[in-house]
Amino acid sequence: MQKLVIKNIGQILSGKLESPVFDGNCLIAIDGKIDAWGNEKDLDCSGATTEVDAKGVTLAPGLIDSHVHPVVGDYTPRQQQLHWIDSTLHGGVTTMISAGEVHMPGRPKDIVGLKAMAIASQRWYENFRPSGVKVHAGAPVIEKGMIEEDFAEMAKAGVRLLGEVGLGTVKDGKTAQKMVGWARKYGMQSTIHTGGPSIPGSGLIDADMVMETGTDVIGHINGGHSALPDDQIICLCESCKAAFEIVHNGNERAAVLTVNTARELGKLNQVILGTDGPAGSGVQPLGILRMIAMLSAFGNVPAEQAFCFGNGNTARQRNLDVGLIEKGYSADFVLLDQAQHAPGKTMLESIQLGNLPGVGMTIIDGIVRTERSRNTPPANRFPEHVK
Ligand SMILES: [Zn+2]
C-alpha cells in the first residue's frame, strides 16, 4: 500500500466553486487516491510511505488545461519545442485535454487515416505520460463524409474526444450537429473552434453555428485568436449550457467579458480554462496560472474561485476524477505560495492583484513529480519532500 501524508498545509483549495476553501492542515492519499483531509490530530498519519511537510503553503488540486494541441510524446512540431508538457507541469498543470492533434505534419484528413490517427494518439498518450502528466488525447477533427459507424468504431477503440469542430471540412451547423450527436451517442465529448480563423486554412465559426452544433464545450469562447463580437459572446453565455472555455491564446478582453457575463448570469460554474497551446503564439507553461491571476484581477473574481476555473469546474464539465478535493479522486496536487516580494497580505490577495504564485511542488497519483518550479517566480516558502 502506498500512503501519502502531507502535513502542515496552510490552506486547502477544494476546486469547488460553492466552497472553494476547506479547513485542515493535513491530507492523506492511499494508492494514489484522496482518502482523508482535515486536522492532523484527527487523522491517522501512521505508516506513510511518502511524507511531505508543506511548510504552511497552499494545497490545490492539480490544474487542468482544457485545450491543448499535443502531437506525440513531449514534443511539438508546431514550434519545434521539446519538453513543453514537463514545463507546463512546472506551472501546476497535471492534466491536459486535447482539442485535436492538428499539428501532426502530414496529418491524414481522409476518413480511414483520421480514425487511425485518433486511435493511435489516444493510445500513445495513455501508454506514455510525459513527466507523469495525464494527457487525454485522440481527438479527431470531423471531416465531410463521416458516417455514424465511424464514430461507433472510434468509440469502441477507446476514443473519447472530438477535436475542434470547424478545423476540418465540416463548416455548416447542420452537418456538424449530426456528427456531434453521433459522437455523443457513443460517449465522445465535443468542442468547437469559436471565433475567427486561427491559422491560414481555418475559417470563421460564429455564435449561430456554435449553437446549432451544440458541442459539450464552447472551445475558446474568447477566440483563438480572433474573438466574436461582444453581442455574440453574451448571446452564447445567455443561451448555452455548455462549458465556456476561456483560453490563454485568445482575446483577453473577450475573456473578461465572458467572466463578467457568466457572473451576472449565475453561470460561473460553466467557466473552464485552457491555453490552446502549442499554437502560433507558442506554448505557455504558466498559462493556466496566468489566466487565474488575470481573471481574478480584471474579472473581479476572488482568487480562490478563479482557481476553480482551472481545476474543479473543468473536472466536472468533463467528468474527470481529478481537479477536486474529493474522497476517491486522484491525488493530483499543486502546492503553491505567495511569490517573493509580490504585493498583498496573502497568496490569494497577491493573485487577485494580478501576480502569479510560486509553485513549490506537484504531485500526481500520490507521487511527488516536481519540487521547486523552474518556471514560476520563487515563493516565500517551499514544501519539503521528507520521505
Ligand atoms: Zn481553435
d(CA 44, CA 47): 9
**pLDDT per residue as tens digits for the range 112-142:** 999 999 999 999 999 999 999 999 999 999 9
Cα of 40 vs centre of ligand 1, distance in Å, is 45
Cα of 218 vs centre of ligand 1, distance in Å, is 10
Cα of 184 vs centre of ligand 1, distance in Å, is 20
**Helix spans in the chain (H):** 84-89, 111-127, 148-156, 173-185, 207-213, 230-239, 252-264, 287-298, 303-310, 312-317, 347-352
Among 50, 70, 223, 212, CA closest to 134: 70
**pLDDT per residue as tens digits for the range 308-356:** 999 999 999 999 999 999 999 999 999 999 999 999 999 999 999 999 9
Cα of 65 vs centre of ligand 1, distance in Å, is 14
Contacts of 71 (CB under 8 A, 6+ apart): 77, 78, 101, 103, 104
Cα of 228 vs centre of ligand 1, distance in Å, is 13
Which domains, and CATH codes, for the chain? 3-61+325-385 (2.30.40.10), 63-285 (3.20.20.140)
Cα of 134 vs centre of ligand 1, distance in Å, is 21
Cα of 43 vs centre of ligand 1, distance in Å, is 46
**pLDDT per residue as tens digits for the range 68-83:** 999 999 999 999 999 9
The pTM assigned to this predicted structure is 0.98
Cα of 34 vs centre of ligand 1, distance in Å, is 34
Cα of 277 vs centre of ligand 1, distance in Å, is 10
d(CA 143, CA 87): 33
Grid cell digits, residue 61: 488540486
pLDDT at 386: 97
